[in-house]
Amino acid sequence: MSARIRMPAVAGLFYPEDKDELTDLITSLLNKNKVNRKFKDIVGIVAPHAGYVYSGNSAATAYNVLKQNSDFETVIIISPSHTEYFKGSTIFDGDAYRTPLGDVPINRELAEVIVENGEFVSFGNLGHKQEHALEVHLPFLQMIKDEFDIVPIVIGDQSLKYVQDLSNAISELIDDKTIIIASSDLSHFYSKEKADKIDNIIVDRINNFEYPELFDDLANEKCFACGGGGIVALMETADIIGINKAAVLSHTDSGDVTQDKSSVVGYLSAVIYGEEDESEKL
């Protein structure tokens, strides 16, 4: 039986299609966005998913932190669905995701456990066919880690019962060889001044590890994050296993690149962790 591969959907759009160009770009982004803090017991990161030219600096900050703790073997990626609505969450029912840097295998065994644990988690292609928010993280991972596999999860409906179902399902199998990536951008198309006010609500909620309050703020439209359900699922998973520290690493917006402050999209990267190594601070 031939392998079932999810082919690149946004190569050449959100990031370079050419392997060498892509490698050079990510190398440059990682080199420009070093982090002078070292974190232990990392459960996961939050990273943005726009085109690399816009959100790549913020994303690279998170991946530099992950690079410090690169002994993970499996990455659970939680992405919102931008193009298809469905209830619950889906895990791609195939063998691998492909990027210009090669194929990333899917950890089918772990995926089956998550589906078994989750009442609203199933295998399928819904949310995966054209979704960029999951795909754009793979080249960064491929640049910081030679061998790893993934569990690619897309959330359709980010209502509380579906988010909590996912975090409960994942928390039963998280260990030091498994990390989570929550894929999310922030507010869209406000002025920079207004966007900062709205997005800083999320920044503060993450820094204070206030994920129930974050979900309420999102539900009540006090702030916006297209992958907010994934952020909450990551934080709740960490809390369930006894880890409850978070740090926002980078907060930027598209206006930093375009110089247009009248209408921006916000980006954030963060780490969820157990302890910070104070001796490693520069």
Is 62 in contact with 119 (CB distance < 8 Å)? no
Q: How far is CA 4 from CA 8, 41, 105, 138, in A?
A: 13, 34, 10, 17
User: Residue 28 corresponds to which amino acid?
Assistant: S
- Tens digit of pLDDT at every position of the chain (282 positions): 567 999 999 999 999 999 999 999 999 999 999 999 999 999 999 999 999 999 999 999 999 999 988 899 999 999 999 999 999 999 999 999 999 999 999 999 999 999 999 999 999 999 999 999 999 999 999 999 999 999 999 999 999 999 999 999 999 999 999 999 999 999 999 999 999 999 999 999 999 999 999 999 999 999 999 999 999 999 999 999 999 999 999 999 999 999 999 999 999 999 999 998 776 554
Distance CA 53, CA 57 (A): 8
User: Which of 4, 59, 64 shows the shortest CA–CA distance to 35?
Assistant: 64
> Torsion over CA of 114, 115, 118 and 121, rounded to 10 degrees?
120
* Exposed/middle/buried for residue 266 (C-beta within 10 Å: 0-12, 13-18, 19+): buried
Beta strand pairing call for 89-92 and 188-190: unpaired
User: Which of 150, 171, 163 shows the shortest CA–CA distance to 87?
Assistant: 163
Number of domain units in the chain? 1
pLDDT of residue 276: 86
pLDDT of residue 279: 60
* pTM reported for the whole predicted model: 0.96
Is 115 in contact with 172 (CB distance < 8 Å)? no
Mapped onto helix, strand or coil, the DSSP state of residue 182 is strand
Question: Which structural domain, as residue segments, surrounds residue 166?
Answer: 5-280
Beta strand pairing call for 44-47 and 121-124: unpaired
Helices (H), the chain: 19-32, 52-68, 108-117, 132-135, 137-144, 160-171, 192-207, 211-219, 228-240, 255-258
Distance CA 280, CA 36 (A): 7
CATH label of the domain that carries residue 137: 3.40.830.10
Instruction: Please give the share of the chain, as a percent, with pLDDT higher than 90.
Output: 94
pLDDT of residue 282: 46
Distance CA 46, CA 77 (A): 10
The residue whose two tokens read 């920079």 is 192
In degrees rounded to 5, what are phi and psi of residue 161?
-65, -30
Half-sphere exposure of 247 (CA within 13 A, CB side): 15
Is 46 in contact with 268 (CB distance < 8 Å)? yes
